Amino acid sequence: MRVILQRVRSASVSMSGAIVGAVNHGLLALVGFTHADTPAEVQWIAEKLMQIRVFADDDGKMNRSVVDVSGGILVVSQFTLYGELRKGTRPTYTEAARPDVAEPLYDLLLATLRSATSLHVASGVFGAMMDVALVNDGPVTILLERSTP
């Protein structure tokens, strides 16, 4: 499981010009799944998303989590995180999980975050063509990755 995590001043995802999910101050998580991912990886990522300290404290140090700052989390599925370019210039996506594997894990991630926190957790639409808009804060961008042992 891979997540591109961005600290944002605001972020939204829209389809056909209509916003389907948005957050103000918080995190944007672009999430990709691979074939071997299980609920254990989802749980690990959910905990990291809520606990990662990327927001400034009173001294300007990145020492606060999204929970500490009462931010929001926007989760967007993105199978292209498993794009492979070892050969040629056209990515292959053989390591990306098929929708029948990835969608239940995506739904589990959303459910886990929503049940673990009172923060606003927004999402895109799994498998849909979407427009993602964001104002990156910092910028702060982190790659989180968890693979089955």
Q: Dump pLDDT digits (tens) for 93-144.
A: 999 999 999 999 999 999 999 999 999 999 999 999 999 999 999 999 999 9
Tokens of 138: 């910092």
- pTM (global) more than 0.75: yes
Which is it for strands 120-123 and 72-77: parallel, antiparallel or unpaired? parallel
33 is a catalytic site residue: no
Q: Which of 55, 79, 112, 126 is catalytic?
A: 79
Cα–Cα distance for residue pair 56/75, rounded to 1 Å: 22
CATH number of 2-143: 3.50.80.10
80 is a catalytic site residue: yes
Q: Give the confidence band of 146 by pLDDT, cuts at 50, 70, 90.
A: confident
Residue pair 50/117 in contact by the 8 Å Cβ criterion? yes
112 is a catalytic site residue: no
